[in-house]
Amino acid sequence: MIRTEDLSFSYRKGPEIFEAFSWQALKGESWAIIGPSGCGKTTLLYLIAGLMKPISGTVVIDGQVITRPRPKTGLILQDHGLLPWYTVEENALLGLRIRRMYGPDGRHAPEDTHLGEAEMKQVVESFMERFGIGHLKNKYPSQLSGGQRQRTAILRTLVMNPDLLLMDEPFSNLDVPTREDLEELVMDLQRELGMTLVVVTHNIEEAVFMGRRLMILKGHPNRSPECIENPLAFSRGNRVSTNYLNLCADIRSRLEKPS
Quick one: 114 exposed, middle or buried, by C-beta within 10 A (0-12, 13-18, 19+)? exposed
The secondary structure element, H or E, covering residue 60 is: strand 56-61
The span from the CA of 45 to the CA of 48, in Å, is: 5
This prediction's pTM = 0.93
Using the 8-state DSSP alphabet, how is residue 163 labeled?
S
List per-residue pLDDT tens for the chain, 259 residues long: 999 999 999 998 888 999 999 999 999 999 999 998 888 999 999 999 999 999 999 999 999 999 999 999 999 988 788 999 999 999 999 999 988 887 777 777 777 777 788 999 999 999 999 999 999 999 999 999 999 999 999 999 999 999 999 999 988 888 888 889 999 999 999 999 999 999 999 999 999 999 999 999 987 899 988 999 999 998 777 788 899 899 999 999 988 876 6
CB 2 within 8 A of CB 164: yes
**Measured between alpha carbons, how far is residue 71 from residues 22, 41, 81, 202, 245 in Å?**
24, 22, 18, 28, 38
CB 169 within 8 A of CB 80: no
Displacement of CA 82 from its chain's centroid (Å): 17
The span from the CA of 162 to the CA of 156, in Å, is: 11
Length of the chain: 259
The span from the CA of 26 to the CA of 1, in Å, is: 5
SS3 247: helix
The span from the CA of 2 to the CA of 66, in Å, is: 10
Amino acid at 52: M
pLDDT for 235: 77
Task: Residue 115: name the closest of 129, 102, 127, 128 by CA.
Answer: 102
pLDDT for 52: 95
pLDDT for 80: 80
